[in-house]
Amino acid sequence: MYPVLTPDPGLHTRLVDGLYVEAMVMADEARAYFDVREAADLEMEDPIRRVSFACESLKVTTRLMHIIAWLLSQRAWQRGEISADELSNDKYRLGHAAGTDPAIASTFPFAARALIEASQDLYDRVARLQDRMGVPRSQPTASPARALLDRLNTAF
């Protein structure tokens, strides 16, 4: 566990702004890649692989949206739009984002693996920043997508 720190306001602003730009660029890259791949996925004959690929694209998007939401909350706090007490509310914490199974990711094209790994790395960095600020992470909830995949696997 890291010691709790109260970052210098200027440093905090620069950290949040840098991470925000990185997250937005990555979100745009992911959207462009997965939109194009979705159209090309007709070549993937294995339906389980197609579903896995779609789930991974959703995981990347979810990770990035959790990151962006957290960073926007930090910006709101910096501007005085929300108080420090409000910022400690669960709704302003970094949401839980499911990790990717490396065995599944290894079957995807290099560009997909790169996006998956980059989004996980960015999520982990933001989570460490939140931890260093003394804000506990939100707890994971059951994934409806995972439940659906499990049902599909047992049916086939």
Domains of the chain: 9-155 (1.10.8.930)
pLDDT of amino acid 64: 97
If you average pLDDT over residues 20-41, what whole number do you get? 86
Any alpha helices (H) in the chain, and if so which ranges? Answer: 9-40, 47-78, 84-87, 102-105, 110-132, 144-155
Q: Could you tell me if 50 and 44 are in contact, meaning their C-beta atoms sit under 8 angstroms apart?
A: yes
> What distance lies between CA 78 and its chain's CA centroid?
22
Rounding to the nearest 10 degrees, give the CA dihedral for residues 88, 25, 123, 15.
-50
pLDDT of amino acid 88: 85
When the pLDDT of each residue in the chain is averaged and rounded to a whole number, the result is 84
Shortest CA distance to 94 belongs to which of 59, 68, 61?
A: 68
pLDDT of amino acid 3: 46
Q: Residue 140, Cβ neighbours under 10 Å: how many?
A: 10
Give me the amino acid identity at 76: A
